[in-house]
Amino acid sequence: MLLQQDTYSNSRTIMLFSRSATALALMFAMGTAAAGPVQTLYDGSGDPAKQGWTVEGSGTQVPRDGSTEFSTANDAGGRTSQTYLFKYDTGATNYIASLRLQVLSSSYNLLDAGLTFSPFGDRVLSSYTRTNTFMIAEGKVLWGDEAGAPALLDTSVFHDYQLRYANGLLSLYIDHSFADIASGAASPVLSRTVTKPDTVSSMGNLVWGDATNDPNVNSRYIVDSFQFQNLDAADVPEPSTFLLMGLGLAGLLLRRRSS
């Protein structure tokens, strides 16, 4: 009779431990893949300033059906004041941002861009941040410092231009899902290890728009949406923490069996 009780007790202990280990494994699997929800920071309709964006400079906005056209006009006679940038401070350190737009016209020179997209908005296209910035021109996307080969595509139609910044690696994707970008299943068209911003306030300061007032360097484009995902949204325990939890649980179960 005692043998049957011990066998039952051992079987029950093993079953409880197995279930607990499975639960811990699921927690770990879910935790390591955790990220925040995809948020719409700009829905494409109306003034971005009314949806929480900070506006620098001036230009023209033309509302369309569910989207908005933005443009600048710098005359050939000299510099004008029409830089036109939109910034949003997310407070994140590792993240994905997606800007869906159609380019009607966009130019650049050796110093500045008529249409830029950057993860660090405090110092756009300065000598420090050109390596951290993408320029979207007619028919191609390239790094702000123009190093390497550009990514060629038809920019006259809508695309999702998506940047991912994580642990010092900055990558640009085009027309992928957030899930594939976050998991690594998507392949970037441009990627490099970049220097972090020199100020903490620069982290997560997303920016897009016309970054130059140089003569004849202009932009005209239609924005449909701007979306964002924080890759550090969940407070995920280290693997060693899960191991300690499992060992502690095992000890409690064995103690319960011996009492």
Average pLDDT, the chain: 79
- The answer to whether residue 108 scores a pLDDT higher than 70 is yes
Q: Which of 24-33, 47-56, 139-148 has the lowest mean pLDDT?
A: 24-33
Nearest to 56 by CA among 143, 123, 132, 129: 123
Q: Spell out the domains of the chain, with CATH numbers in brackets.
A: 35-230 (2.60.120.200)
Tokens 């728009």 identify what position?
A: 209
% the chain with pLDDT above 70: 68
Residue 242 burial (CB count, 10 A)? 17
Give residue 252's identity as a one-letter amino acid code.
L
> Where is 253: in which H helix or E strand?
helix 239-258
Give residue 182's identity as a one-letter amino acid code.
A
User: Is the CA virtual torsion 37, 238, 90, 130 positive or negative?
Assistant: negative
Residues 125-169: tens digit of each pLDDT: 555 567 788 999 999 999 988 999 999 999 999 999 999 999 889
Q: Do 87 and 53 contact (CB within 8 A), yes or no?
A: yes
Q: Give the pTM.
A: 0.76
